[in-house]
């Protein structure tokens, strides 16, 4: 009886810890924008929440350890499948540029996103240039030898050349959309 209530209090304590980390990650995203590891923290916290719920349910309904492994493994699989369905680079670029009034964009990080984010970078050049000037005025060094516009143009040119070298076997719908945008 005491052990069961001790376990429940431990689970409640871990829930409060998860909420605390979730709030800190939210504020960090709100102040600094999205990045891969910030999204990874959200996924990790989702899995921890599922794990805590399944441990609570295991204790409450007297389930087996197999139940824990089975349900938590399915949670990991579902999360991994979901995470592959989203184009994270495009989403990060869109989110960060649309929230440019609230955050100081890491422009050097943004121009290093994958080719899928090139459309957003191309459309939001003015936002990126404004943020770059703000960073330069604060003493942050620009780590590239090219100017921002030249760097984006070079990446677009490089992408077009790369796509032109592929055969029809490498065709994909997302690449076709990207090529149509730059044509």
pLDDT for the residue 178: 92
Check pLDDT > 90 for residue 1: no
55 φ/ψ angles, rounded to the nearest 5 degrees: -65, -45
What pLDDT, in 10s, does the model give residues 85-135?
999 999 999 999 999 888 888 898 999 999 999 999 999 999 999 988 888
Neighbours of 85 (CB within 10 A): 6
pLDDT for the residue 167: 93
pLDDT for the residue 65: 95
Residues 6+ apart with CB under 8 A from 42: 22, 25
Alpha-carbon dihedral of residues 79, 81, 86, 87, nearest 10 degrees?
Answer: 120
pLDDT for the residue 104: 85
Size (the chain), residues = 183
Residue 168 DSSP class: G
pLDDT for the residue 28: 93
Mean pLDDT, residues 6-15 = 96
What pLDDT, in 10s, does the model give residues 125-183?
999 999 888 888 888 888 888 899 999 999 999 999 999 999 999 999 989 999 999 88
Helices 65-84, 36-61: inter-axial angle, 10-degree rounding: 150
Three-state secondary structure call for residue 165? coil
């Amino acid at each position: 009886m005491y052990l069961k209530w001790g376990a429940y209090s431990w689970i409640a304590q871990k829930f409060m810890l998860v909420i605390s980390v979730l709030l800190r990650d939210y504020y960090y995203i709100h102040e600094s924008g999205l990045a891969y590891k910030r999204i990874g923290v959200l996924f990790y916290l989702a899995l921890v929440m599922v794990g805590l719920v399944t441990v609570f349910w295991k204790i409450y309904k007297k389930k087996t350890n197999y139940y824990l492994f089975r349900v938590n493994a399915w949670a990991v699989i579902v999360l991994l499948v979901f995470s592959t369905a989203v184009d994270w680079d495009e989403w990060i670029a869109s989110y960060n540029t649309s929230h440019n009034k609230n955050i100081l964009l890491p422009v050097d990080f943004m121009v290093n996103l994958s080719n899928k984010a090139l459309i957003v970078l191309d459309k939001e050049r003015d936002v990126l240039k404004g943020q770059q000037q703000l960073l330069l005025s604060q003493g942050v060094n620009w780590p590239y030898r090219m100017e921002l516009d030249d760097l984006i143009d070079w990446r677009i040119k490089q992408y077009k050349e790369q796509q032109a070298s592929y055969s029809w076997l490498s065709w994909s719908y997302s690449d076709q959309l990207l090529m149509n945008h730059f044509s």
